[in-house]
């Protein structure tokens, strides 16, 4: 595949964002986050475990006590980017989706 074809394929790829969380299965708490590329969420958690690093400062105490073994990735909702959407519009839509999930879940369960 030549360079132009690879660039075209990259630009035409399906982009899926969404809202996800790292759930602590021991205490039920959830770190809620959003991203414009949901495939990176699982990679981030796996890399953090493999390297022995905590993926987010809010998780530090609970993460250190279990070395990350208690955490699981939960993808709560996904959203496909429309071809006519700009990156900024898509990011705004994802942020709104995260805010809706924060209201739905409630602060008592969140980190």
Mean pLDDT, residues 54-61: 95
As a whole number, mean pLDDT of residues 3-10 equals: 83
Burial class (CB in 10 A: 0-12, 13-18, 19+), 63: buried
pTM: 0.86
Bridge pairing between strands 30-35 and 71-80: unpaired
Look at residue 91 and tell me whether its pLDDT is greater than 80: yes
Non-local CB neighbours of 71 within 8 Å, separated by 6+ positions = 22, 23, 24, 25, 45, 59, 63
pLDDT tens for 16-51 read 999 999 999 999 999 999 999 999 998 999 999 999
CB 54 within 8 A of CB 75: no
């Amino acid at each position: 595949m030549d360079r132009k074809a690879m660039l075209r394929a990259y630009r035409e790829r399906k982009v899926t964002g969404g809202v996800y969380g790292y759930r602590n299965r021991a205490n039920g708490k959830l770190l809620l986050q959003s991203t414009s590329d949901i495939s990176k969420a699982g990679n981030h958690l796996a890399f953090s475990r493999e390297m022995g690093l905590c993926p987010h400062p809010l998780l530090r105490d609970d993460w250190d006590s279990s070395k990350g073994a208690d955490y699981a990735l939960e993808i709560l909702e996904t959203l496909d980017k429309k071809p006519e959407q700009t990156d900024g519009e898509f990011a705004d839509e994802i942020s709104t989706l995260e805010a809706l999930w924060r209201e739905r879940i409630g602060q008592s369960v969140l980190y």
